[in-house]
Amino acid sequence: MTTPRWRALSSSEITEPVTVRWRIDLSYDGSGFKGFALQPDQSTVVGELREAIALTLRLSDVPFIVGAGRTDTGVHAFAQVIHLDLPERFYPDNKGPEDERLMRSLNNQLAGRITVHAVRRVSDDFHARHSATWRAYRYLVIESNSPALALSSAMSWTVEGPVDIDLMNLACQDLLGEHDFRAFCKRPDNVDAEQPLQRDVFEAQWTRLADTWRVTPTAAPALRFNIRAKSFCHQQVRSLTSTLVAIGQGKLPVSTIKERLESHSRYQLPGPAPAGGLSLIGVGYPEFAGGASGFVE
């Protein structure tokens, strides 16, 4: 009797393919997406990335992607970070470094809608979200001093001027440290209204930018709001931005931030600033994870 040339494997002999963890740093124009996170039948950053990576590496299934943070519809990113697990070798021909080949292939496919800036192998301990030590956002405001001046951009918000930046920065001092930001966040449906939304803010600063394009013959019309924290709750930066701008316009007292952090009330606060002015500009990581992404002025 001849010995069979094959046999069924027992469950203990079946092994999963060997994978390694990769970190990818990327940027995107949020105006072309319905946010970062995957949504059925919607164009999202994760959805497009999954398809591009699966096609590039000829994977049998789309990969699972974890991001440093979820940007809303219309919000941009200059320094988003994701991680995903891929086969140990996905270019078996050994024709050049795998990280460089993957970055080049993805950028060719994504054609500027999403730009990959860095691809690197990391340890299995790295987690794009949980390993992050801080996130930094920037909001751009265009100050219009004349009703006839209708400056607008996909990456800024035009407001009626003049705006007192000193008052806004004075109010920013009340943001620093750990506070309950219930008054400035959109609460998730599954979170009780009385549950605190504690966040620790490290930096919050408004800067008037130089008018290098000579858009106006007088003062520079552009204002930049940079804010950095361990993490942010939903719509926190946009809600803070609109409130601070109202303070700068003299519509709200400078004490508004402090009072609302203590009262937790949104009553008669302005709605969140438009999504287009907001960008994720940096994510902090320890050295073992490759260090920070992006830039913080």
Domain count for the chain = 2
Q: Is residue 79, in this structure, part of any structural domain at all?
A: yes
Model confidence pLDDT, tens digit, residues 220-253? 578 999 999 999 999 999 999 999 999 999 999 9
Domain housing 71:
17-122
Q: 171 or 191, which is more confident?
A: 171
**In a shared domain, residues 171 and 66:** no
Q: Is residue 129, in this structure, part of any structural domain at all?
A: no
Structural domain ending residue among the three candidates 87, 122, 157: 122
What is the C-alpha to C-alpha distance for residues 23 and 85, in angstroms, rounded to an integer? Answer: 9
What is the band of 12 on the pLDDT scale with cuts at 50, 70, 90? very low
Q: 205 or 154, which is more confident?
A: 205
**In a shared domain, residues 187 and 253:** yes
pLDDT value for 225: 97
Mean pLDDT computed over 81-97:
81
**In a shared domain, residues 113 and 139:** no
Q: Is residue 46, in this structure, part of any structural domain at all?
A: yes
**In a shared domain, residues 69 and 205:** no
Model confidence pLDDT, tens digit, residues 278-287? 999 999 999 9
**In a shared domain, residues 58 and 140:** no
**In a shared domain, residues 155 and 228:** yes
Over pLDDT 70: what percentage of the chain?
A: 86
What is the band of 1 on the pLDDT scale with cuts at 50, 70, 90? very low
**CATH code, domain carrying 145:** 3.30.70.660
**In a shared domain, residues 23 and 103:** yes
pLDDT value for 152: 54
Model confidence pLDDT, tens digit, residues 101-152? 999 999 999 988 999 999 999 999 999 999 999 999 999 998 876 544 444 5
Angle between helices 45-57 and 98-110 (to 10 degrees): 120
Structural domain ending residue among the three candidates 95, 122, 149: 122
Task: Give yes or no for residue 218 having a pLDDT over 90.
Answer: no
Q: Is residue 10, in this structure, part of any structural domain at all?
A: no
Active site positions, annotated: 72
What is the band of 2 on the pLDDT scale with cuts at 50, 70, 90? very low
Q: Can you point out the beta strands (E) in 123-185? A: 134-144, 157-160, 177-180
In the predicted model, what is the mean pLDDT of the chain? Answer: 87
User: What residues have CB less than 8 Å from 207, skipping those under 6 apart?
Assistant: 165, 223, 224, 226, 297
Residue with tokens 């803070």: 240
CB 148 within 8 A of CB 154: no
pLDDT value for 179: 97
**In a shared domain, residues 84 and 189:** no
In this prediction the pTM is 0.88
Residue with tokens 């719509």: 235
Helices (H) and strands (E) in the chain, counts: 5, 11
**In a shared domain, residues 53 and 165:** no
**In a shared domain, residues 155 and 82:** no
**CATH code, domain carrying 84:** 3.30.70.580
Q: What are the Cα distances from residue 154, in Å, to 151, 222, 270?
A: 11, 14, 21
**In a shared domain, residues 208 and 266:** yes
